[in-house]
Structure 1
Amino acid sequence: MFLAQLGFAGHAHAQAAITMRARVGYDGAYRLAEWFPVVVDIANDGPDVRATLEWRLPGRLDEQVFQRLVDLPRGSRKRVSLNVYTPGFVRNGQLRLLDGSTELLTQDVKLDAIDESVFLIGVASSDPALLNSLSSVQIGNFTSAHISHLAPADIPDSVASMRGLDAIFLHNIDTAALLPSQREALALWTSLGGQLVVSGGPGGQATAAGLGDLLPVRTVGDLAQGSLAPLAALAENAGATLPASTTLSRAEPQPGAEQLPPGSGLLFRQPYGAGFATFTSFDIAALRAWEGEGALWSNVLRQLAPATPGTGAHLSQFSLLDRGVLKLPSLSLPSPWALLLFILAYVLVLGPLNYIVLRRMGRLELAWITVPVVVLVFTAGLYVVGTLLRGGNAQYNQLAIVESSEGQARGHATSFIGFFSPRRENYTLAFPATTQVSSGPNQQFLNAQFEPVVVDEAGAPSVQLLADISSVTTFVAESLVDLPVQVQSSLTAGANGLSGELRNTGQVALDDAVIVRGDTFARLGTLAPGAAAQIANGSLEPNFPNGLGLSQSGVFDRQSMINLLFDRDMLQFGNPNTPASGPDTNSVYLLGWVSQPVLPANVDGQASEQNSLTLYVVRLNS
């Protein structure tokens, strides 16, 4: 009893000595069915504690729980980041700091769910009220806009957690002080369809310092005085009052950068992959009192629809492996003829054959022994055959989609993983650091049971699961990956379609490679490293994706996968607000297959073999 009291007193002292402050999502907002960041500052002025930071949704037993291990020695001050995910609409989340099973601290946080009909803008600025007027503007077909203010430290360091934002404004912050992972995420997020706006003016050099080639300008130089009057025409409000003179950053545009309005030197915009990067030579805060501010940005920002099939499938809340793409022999049912022959043999042996043998022996009274024996023999035989059919080993299956743009060294991978277990057993699956893992859609309706996703101090997640007999447990893993696929294209669009050349400059061969533009495509076949393919005018075929006619590859049905990924109706079934994910008609994409995994398989601490197939979707510079 005395020891128990000492333990309770120790925990009470630890609770009093630890403080926790959390910032969740994008200034409290999160995008439905998307990852969002949770940033927690923890201070410990008490005894050493090896704690677990846990994120959960109170009262939602069907939602994934996320945990992060954190070591808190006496006097420590730590900032801990945790990327979390929920597919549904929630109002509240809960953070708990645990020492084993003992709760040290609890903090409830309010959440503001943002659906796909709202244009979500993140603003990282020293000005806490910057661009608040944009909440009343309409951009494209979005019903409204939402402004979320972010501290520089709260800018997500992963594409998956940044993907919920449609546009990001950077103003009067030092981007050179951002983490390398934050800058890399900004670049890849933009290339996959994000819109980045960087402010110039007095703080322009610091704001542009860490962004390099991402900007549409080469250099941001000294300051000069200039007029903002040309912006009135861009805002379609020529009579609006603008400052007669303001401080501008001298900027040298990149080749091909667009000036808005033309020749004004005020806004520079350039495509970056599927997205846009914009630099303003003026301080965007100078437009605060201008009545045309909202109209200007509603004309500069766009509603983009890049081809992001992996992201679209995840947003639509279905797993490719649950829709007939995975063809495991272990899950195949015996043929009806085999079942019929088995039943016929069972009936014949149990009835006529048993009777004939016993009658010839003159021992019909032994039937009470032979009948149970026959039943046991057939039952044992059926069990043995079933065991042989499903195999004795667990199977790890990974189907991945990697999205990138021509010239990028890294891409964003969405891996749909199916883990088959022939028996009821516990497993631990581990993933590389910075991978974001969640249970598969509708996982609560399966027999497999998920424990929390636990992220260690190095950022590597692991999942424990209790798999049922002959079950496939699915989950989704997202990560940044190095691209073994590199291409160089010189394609031009004409009245008769596309023409030009595409060369594989990467390290691996692409199987069943195709060029896709809208609902048309050109077959390239197998494209070996160093090989080039010519696309001639008139070579595009109609009816993408159904007209591809792809064959099965191992345990994966390629054609079924392509149909699911680019079927707009299917992708919008799970979430009616999800934008169509098929290739936009103004862009050209390369699709190719590689029978290599993007993530290693680690089961119970050991490297494991896996069935794998990866589809690369590369937006071409055409």
Structure 2
Amino acid sequence: MVCNFNPINALEEDKIKVKLSAGFDSTYKIGSTVPINIEIENNMKNINGEVQIEMETGSRPGMNTNTINLYAQPISLPLNSTKKLLMNIPISTYITKIKVNVFEGKNNVFEKEMSISGGLSSDSVLIGILSDDYDSISYVNSVGMANGTTLSAKNVKLTETNFPEDTDVLKMFNNIIINNFDTSKLSKNQYEALKKWVFSGGHLIIGTGPSYNKTLAVFKDDFVSGTIGNAANISTKELGGLIAKSNPGNNLQLSALDIKVKDSTPVIKEGDFVLVHKLERSRGTVAVAAFDFGLNPIANWGQKSTFMEKLIGATLPSYYSLIDYQKGRPSMMMEYLYGVSSAVRNIPELPMPKGKNLIIIFIIYLIIAAPINYIILKKLDKRELMWATVPIISIAFAGIMYAAGLSTRVTEPIVNIISMINMDSKGTASIKSYGGVFTPTKGTMKIEASAGMHIKTLSENVYDKGMASSANKAPKVVDAKVNLGSKPSIEFYKNGVFSNRLIDISMDEIKNGQIEGALNYSNGVFKGTVKNNSGFDLEDCYVITTSNYISLGKIKNGETKEINEKPTGSYSGYGQDLISKIYKDPYRSPQQLKNATDEEAKELRITRQKWDVMANYFQMNMGKPDNQQVVAWSKTPITKDIIVNGKKVKKIEKSFITAPIKVTLRNGNTVEYPYGYIRPTYINNNQKGGYDEYGKVFYGGGTYELQYQIDNTINIEQLDIKANFSSNSILNKEVKQYIWNVKTSSYEEGNYTSFSIQKDNIAKYVDKDGIFKFKLEITNTNQVSGEMPSISVKGSVK
């Protein structure tokens, strides 16, 4: 007991004092990587060791334990010195305490559980403000959504000191505003992190005006580029018009900068003078204002908070218009890891032993070693020889089993890497990579990445991400140690045979590449070209619209493919349905894998891997394809070497690539919108149940009023309606359908599950602004299944 007694005592602990804070002024989101600031005062002795922080991660699958990750950073503490550390650590559950240790070798010289503030929900809206005059724009306190709802926001003051160099830390912010700040104070790493954050889906707002030289100082590359003219005094009502077109209020006298942002679109204009630009950058957006948000007349404007709410809403990335964000769950950087976890654990290229063959061999061994061996020796009256024959037979069959499994023998770790790459129309790619490190042996694995690449642990407890943890009295076990600092690495402990440990991989380099193309849809046929300048050889490639898809097969890097064909298939507009059409649901029969040949089993595992990754992608986009796009797979490697226990290991890499593609629906004067292209919006949703966007199921009773906006620059010649409900719901009057009659300003009841409105009646049901309305009344309180009604339109240019 004396030998094992912890050497820490109260007197020594007093000689080492630690202060700790989490987040930005104690503000952070659960489910994100959080900066932990530590200050250590050492009055004990010279210490060369490391600081460790313990973080509970939940239970690993199949383990009745509470697992802990250690995050460690080397530190040198001379006697009578004080040092500060920054450690970026993922916090995936609600906690209010963190345990800190200071080790010198194996000797723990400090150990204390320290209090921190609890984090915000992962669905909270967080706005970072980078300004030399923070108070002048701290009025930003809400975000307007496309459906008219307003979400409250929490502001965080950012400076050149606390601005992160880690993109994963920035992901807790929904929006970042830079105004009246000298951006040249940002380091190269901070600027690169900012760009990657935008490419990943961040929303950056830049104010210029008189301080434009400061604000734009860091933007020397093509991330935000253009030309700058002279400052001008602009009298405008357009800022108020963003709030209410019908009553914009008085003129505002702005000191505005004549700035033209390359590749941007105008959001607010006064005549030909653009006051706010919007620039799309991969998955994110940048809004550049020609004025300063903190100067008069904005500073004294009574509508300034509402204006910023509307401006943020008008310049958000497109995915914020998806249903989950509209319902107030704007966790734009939330990672859905279940599909990723399943995909990286699945290694189709790894030969799998045929369990059936091994069982047959084992049964034959049992028959020969026992009854046959006994019967033969009994007839020979030599039963005592079984002491020799049984071991000999056992050794022989062990050799047979070894030979049978020789083709599937793995002796070294293998890294299975899946990357998700999104390319924008400008040629910039955002990349997210995940790896599964498979080991055939027991013991500890130390994993390191080559220079220019970074690795982190990936939570295996995928369901608890961003949620509060429940009290768990299971014993605590250290699962992994993450070594931060100049030589980062991860040590995974207690690995069993055939363990597969998950890692998050990121690279310093920003990739460039494009998939260019333009297609025209007319008379049910797609015509055009797709040119692959992505830097990847593509396979299993598809063009996806909002309602159908075309299979393109393989396209090598630099190749151009001509398209002139009908859609390969159609789907409901939701990702899960699309994947089912393409891959025929590889999970539909568990017996498939057992009864398959080696080659069939490999192909089925490949299909399951693709299914999981695509499902993960569509879940990130709330179940829907993001407009017209190309989706493809590639085996072109993009990551650098992974070192396991000091050795470079074999990597198996695949990338899932998405890129936008232009699809026009006009051929000369003819216009044709296929089913699903025009998506409805709710204008009234008085429901007792709801509508499941993923399962396409109405549940509960209620009234659902939908509005379809048709381009009012075309003459509509035919409008077709298509809806599909459970077989008896229409006959039993459980679902009533109505279309809006413009002439009578009332709804007409009818059966519109398959209905066509011809040219002579178009003006009766579509108003002069191109709006068509559809209403559903569901009277049955039980579940009624059905798809969202969709329309197709044919017409000509006015």
Q: TM-score, normalised by structure 1?
A: 0.80
**Are 1:546 and 2:580 an aligned pair?**
yes
Residue in 1 that maps onto 2:283? 274
What is the one-letter code of the residue matched to 1:562?
K
Distance 1:603 1:621, change over 3 A: farther
What SS does the aligned partner of 1:463 have?
strand
Q: Determine the C-alpha separation between the residues in 2 that align with 1:236 and 1:515.
A: 39
What SS does the aligned partner of 1:112 have?
coil
What SS does the aligned partner of 1:265 have?
strand
What SS does the aligned partner of 2:120 have?
strand
Distance 1:492 1:162, change over 3 A: farther
What is the one-letter code of the residue matched to 2:214?
A
Residue from 565, 570, 573 that aligns with 2:613: 565
Identify the structure with bigger relative contact order (alpha carbons < 8 Å, sequence gap 6+): 1
Deviations 1:34-70 (A, max 9, x none): 3334455678899764342433347974353322224
Instruction: Tell me the CA shift for residue 239 of structure 1.
Output: 5.4
Residue from 427, 440, 444 that aligns with 2:445: 427
What SS does the aligned partner of 1:450 have?
strand
What is the one-letter code of the residue matched to 1:480?
M
What is the one-letter code of the residue matched to 2:367?
V
Asked if structure 1 preserves the Cα contact closer than 8 Å seen for 2:50 and 2:72, the reply is: yes
Deviations 1:203-226 (A, max 9, x none): 232111112456766244554433
Instruction: Tell me the CA shift for residue 132 of structure 1.
Output: 4.3
Instruction: Tell me the CA shift for residue 86 of structure 1.
Output: 3.1
Instruction: Tell me the CA shift for residue 134 of structure 1.
Output: 4.0
Deviations 1:543-600 (A, max 9, x none): 53334349989799342233223337x976xxxxx6525421x242342312535242
What SS does the aligned partner of 2:94 have?
coil
Residue in 1 that maps onto 2:54? 56
Asked if structure 2 preserves the Cα contact closer than 8 Å seen for 1:410 and 1:481, the reply is: no
Distance 1:198 1:242, change over 3 A: farther
Q: Determine the C-alpha separation between the residues in 2 that align with 1:157 and 1:610.
A: 28
Residue in 2 that maps onto 1:284? 293
Residue in 1 that maps onto 2:127? 121
Distance 1:158 1:386, change over 3 A: farther
Residue in 1 that maps onto 2:557? 529
Residue in 1 that maps onto 2:622? 580
Residue in 1 that maps onto 2:177? 169
**Are 1:301 and 2:312 an aligned pair?**
yes
Asked if structure 2 preserves the Cα contact closer than 8 Å seen for 1:409 and 1:482, the reply is: no
Q: Determine the C-alpha separation between the residues in 1 that align with 2:104 and 2:219.
A: 41
What is the one-letter code of the residue matched to 2:281?
Y
Q: Determine the C-alpha separation between the residues in 2 that align with 1:313 and 1:482.
A: 23
Asked if structure 1 preserves the Cα contact closer than 8 Å seen for 2:178 and 2:205, the reply is: yes
What is the one-letter code of the residue matched to 2:70?
V
Distance 1:620 1:76, change over 3 A: farther
Asked if structure 2 preserves the Cα contact closer than 8 Å seen for 1:519 and 1:545, the reply is: no
Distance 1:254 1:349, change over 3 A: closer
Distance 1:292 1:477, change over 3 A: same
Residue from 65, 72, 78 that aligns with 1:67: 72
Identity %: 13
What SS does the aligned partner of 1:296 have?
helix
Residue from 402, 413, 421 that aligns with 2:432: 413
What is the one-letter code of the residue matched to 1:473?
N
Residue in 1 that maps onto 2:656? 615
What SS does the aligned partner of 1:545 have?
helix
CA RMSD in angstroms comes to: 4.4
Residue in 2 that maps onto 1:575? none
Deviations 1:350-374 (A, max 9, x none): 11442233322x234x277368647
What is the one-letter code of the residue matched to 2:34?
F
Q: Determine the C-alpha separation between the residues in 2 that align with 1:312 and 1:547.
A: 28
Deviations 1:313-360 (A, max 9, x none): 94344543468733465665511x652453244134411442233322
Distance 1:185 1:137, change over 3 A: closer
Instruction: Tell me the CA shift for residue 175 of structure 1.
Output: 1.5
Residue in 2 that maps onto 1:139? 145
Residue in 1 that maps onto 2:95? 90
Distance 1:128 1:262, change over 3 A: closer
Q: Determine the C-alpha separation between the residues in 2 that align with 1:402 and 1:323.
A: 12
What SS does the aligned partner of 2:355 have?
coil
Residue from 539, 547, 565 that aligns with 1:511: 539
**What is the count of residue pairs matched by the alignment?**
599
Distance 1:427 1:490, change over 3 A: closer
What is the one-letter code of the residue matched to 1:191?
F
315-324 or 158-167: which moved more?
A: 315-324
Residue in 1 that maps onto 2:714? none
Q: Determine the C-alpha separation between the residues in 2 that align with 1:206 and 1:75.
A: 41
Asked if structure 1 preserves the Cα contact closer than 8 Å seen for 2:16 and 2:40, the reply is: no
Residue in 2 that maps onto 1:205? 213
Residue in 1 that maps onto 2:513? 486
> Mind listing any 5+ residue stretches in structure 2 that lack a counterpart?
1-6, 59-65, 323-331, 465-473, 572-577, 585-598, 664-798
Asked if structure 2 preserves the Cα contact closer than 8 Å seen for 1:87 and 1:317, the reply is: no
Residue in 1 that maps onto 2:726? none
What SS does the aligned partner of 1:28 have?
coil
Residue in 2 that maps onto 1:29? 27
What is the one-letter code of the residue matched to 2:562?
Q
Instruction: Tell me the CA shift for residue 182 of structure 1.
Output: 2.1
Residue in 1 that maps onto 2:119? 112
> Mind listing any 5+ residue stretches in structure 1 that lack a counterpart?
1-5, 573-577
Distance 1:372 1:588, change over 3 A: closer
Max Rg structure = 2
Deviations 1:61-111 (A, max 9, x none): 435332222445689887654332233333444555544443458653213
Asked if structure 1 preserves the Cα contact closer than 8 Å seen for 2:33 and 2:90, the reply is: yes
Q: TM-score, normalised by structure 2?
A: 0.64
Distance 1:175 1:96, change over 3 A: farther
Q: Determine the C-alpha separation between the residues in 2 that align with 1:84 and 1:382.
A: 50
Q: Determine the C-alpha separation between the residues in 2 that align with 1:75 and 1:261.
A: 61
Residue in 2 that maps onto 1:342? 362
What SS does the aligned partner of 1:206 have?
helix
Asked if structure 1 preserves the Cα contact closer than 8 Å seen for 2:265 and 2:277, the reply is: yes
Q: Determine the C-alpha separation between the residues in 1 that align with 2:229 and 2:39.
A: 37
What SS does the aligned partner of 2:215 have?
helix
Instruction: Tell me the CA shift for residue 468 of structure 1.
Output: 0.9
Instruction: Tell me the CA shift for residue 267 of structure 1.
Output: 1.5
What SS does the aligned partner of 2:93 have?
coil
Residue from 573, 596, 602 that aligns with 2:637: 596
Alignment of 1:176-325 (within 5 A): 176-212=184-220, 218-220=226-228, 223-227=231-235, 229-236=237-244, 244-254=252-262, 256-261=264-269, 263=271, 264-286=273-295, 287-302=298-313, 304=317, 306=319, 314-317=335-338, 319-321=340-342, 325=346
What SS does the aligned partner of 1:29 have?
coil
